[in-house]
Chain A
């Protein structure tokens, strides 16, 4: 509040034109004016981000299990996982349009690509760092590799997987917005990324800021939901929360 008020005063006393930096009151008014439109756009983006994150959770989790099977598999395929981390999503987004066409599929793919690596990396760490004494225990009882995976390694990796999921949640929202910049079909009005893009082209700076604010709130809300889910799961798993 204080920050908003001082910014307001600063902008008004210095006569900064509203198209450069609109005062908070103007952004607030834009939020009210375009409220329903922006909320709808935000929810549309939320759907794309959620789908991308779910795809990351499933595919990332399974990839980590495959990678954990043998050091050779890791040596052969882990570099490809790292590729997902390093690929500039803005540069590859046009390719996604070529592969998946304009629309939701390409946007989900963008959200997936930026959010999958943290899940793979964290889950893999969890799968490979089980308690050595418990591993010995499973060896003494001659448990098969599959039994050891199901009863020991996967349960041990749950907290690591959840950490990966929390990091991925923020990234999935960013990925979806970048995807919308390139691939949105404006069907049903488009997502929040599209709203930002259109507002820029219409030079409605106050609307740009209102939309960016909504996008940030979406990221925050997304993180809060995933964080809450993971805390619940960790309690269920009887493991003390690792505070970050």
Chain B
């Protein structure tokens, strides 16, 4: 179950490529890859009101990896994401980032845009907060809005956008600081299936084009298998790891991937695991 270790001190920028999983190397040529942040979690425990949501959790996440955290509601996957983001502190255990100076971005389940700011101004926010020179900001925001297909909507306001468009603004906002680690907490859960598949493909493309580690929390097995290099499944109770599976599907994954036998085998085996181990304590 344990993965080839990111030999504690060794995984700095220079080692990134050696440690990158094979599936990652088929990245199309283009932008120079930067390092994604690697993570090392040991013995993580987090309890709320005496009830342990996460218990003695060990997990290694490789730089540049696309990891899906899968599990039923209340299994602690969002808690784990908040711990990684530094929004919450573990009661016990150690959490190390390979790149302490790395930039981190977070996408919430709701788009959480500021209604009083235009689409452009919403994407500018993280750039303002992290002290990027004013002259540079707008060009970067424009670039990311183009990357999510919203070049035409920069002057519009959130209340004029559809749910899918709002989520794309939220993605552009997160990516605008060019994060080394992108955390997403069930970002597309509230969207319709068509929009969701479209955004899954968009997210994959963004990850392929821009080196970063992605941790994607979801309760959808098909979404996890479609997106991830590796699926980590948490048990419904007790905060144990139920499975840690590599997903060996060629990239870029497309609509036809969803109907391939390999895809369905992966979905079925994870689904069986969730059914067997997910419900009982």
Q: Min CB distance, B100 to chain A, in Å?
A: 13
Q: Select B115's contact among A137, A139, A147, A238, beta carbons within 8 Å.
A: A238
Q: Does A240 contact B112, Cβ atoms closer than 8 Å?
A: no
Q: Which residues of B contact A137 (CB under 8 A)?
A: 106, 108, 112, 125-126
Residues of B within 8 A of A (CB): 85-87, 104-106, 108, 110, 112, 114-116, 125-126, 128-130, 157-159, 177
Docked CA distance A234–B85 (Å): 34
Contact A139 B87 (CB under 8 A): yes
A66 at the interface (CB under 8 A from B): no
Q: How far is the CA of A151 from the CA of B158 in the complex (A)?
A: 17
Complex CA gap A131/B126 in Å reads 16
A140 to B157, CA, bound (A): 24
Inter-chain contact A141/B115, CB cutoff 8 Å = no
Q: In this complex, which of A134, A138, A140, A152 has the most chain B Cβ atoms within 10 angstroms of its Cβ?
A: A140
Of the candidates A133, A147, A155, A158, the one whose C-beta lies within 8 Å of that of B129 is A147
**Which residues of the other chain, B, contact A240 by a CB distance below 8 angstroms?**
159
Given contacts A140-B85, A140-B105, contact A238 B129 (CB under 8 A): no
CA distance A136 to B112 in the complex (A): 10
Q: Contacts A136-B87, A137-B106 given: A143-B129 contact, CB under 8 Å?
A: yes
> Which one of B85, B125, B129, B158 has the greatest number of beta carbons of chain A within 10 Å?
B129
At the interface, is chain A mostly helix, strand, loop or mixed?
Answer: helix
Q: Which of B112, B116, B128 contacts A238 (CB 8 A)?
A: B116
A12 to B201: give the CA distance in the assembly, Å: 82
Contacts A143-B129, A238-B158 hold; do A133 and B108 have CB atoms under 8 A apart? yes
A239 proximal to B (CB < 8 A): yes
Residue of B nearest to A138 (CB): B129
Task: Verify if A237 is at the interface (C-beta below 8 Å from B).
Answer: yes
Asked if residues B114 and A155 are in contact (CB atoms below 8 Å), the reply is yes
- Report A-chain residues with C-beta under 8 Å of the C-beta of B85: 136, 140
Q: Which residues of A contact B128 (CB under 8 A)?
A: 151
Nearest 3 A/B pairs, CB to CB: A133-B112, A141-B129, A133-B108
Residue of A nearest to B86 (CB): A140
Most buried by A among B104, B105, B116, B130: B116
Asked if A140 and B104 sit within 8 Å, CB to CB, the answer is: yes
Residues of A near B158 (CB, < 8 A) are 238
Question: Which residue of B is nearest A158, CB measured?
Answer: B116
Q: A141-B130, A143-B129 are in contact. Are A134 and B87 (CB under 8 A)?
A: no
B117 to chain A, nearest CB (A): 8
**How distant is the Cα of A137 from the Cα of B87 in the complex, in angstroms?**
9
Q: Give the complex CA separation of A176 and B126 in angstroms.
A: 47
> Which residues of chain B are near A139, meaning CB under 8 Å?
86-87
Q: Which residue of A lies closest to B173 (CB)?
A: A137
Q: Enumerate A152-166 residues with CB–CB distance to B below 8 Å.
A: 152, 155, 158
Residues of chain A within 8 A (CB-CB) of B177 are: 141
B115 touches A239 (CB 8 A): yes
- Provide the bound-state CA to CA distance between A186 and B104, in Å: 67
Additional pairs, 14, CB under 8 Å, beyond known A133-B110, A141-B126, A238-B116: A137-B112, A137-B126, A138-B129, A140-B104, A140-B106, A141-B177, A142-B130, A143-B129, A151-B125, A155-B116, A237-B115, A238-B157, A238-B158, A239-B115
* A133–B105 CA distance with the chains assembled, in angstroms: 13
**Residue in A closest to B104 when the chains form the complex, CB atoms:** A140
CB-defined contacts of A155 to chain B, threshold 8 Å: 114, 116
Residues of A within 8 A of B104 (CB): 140
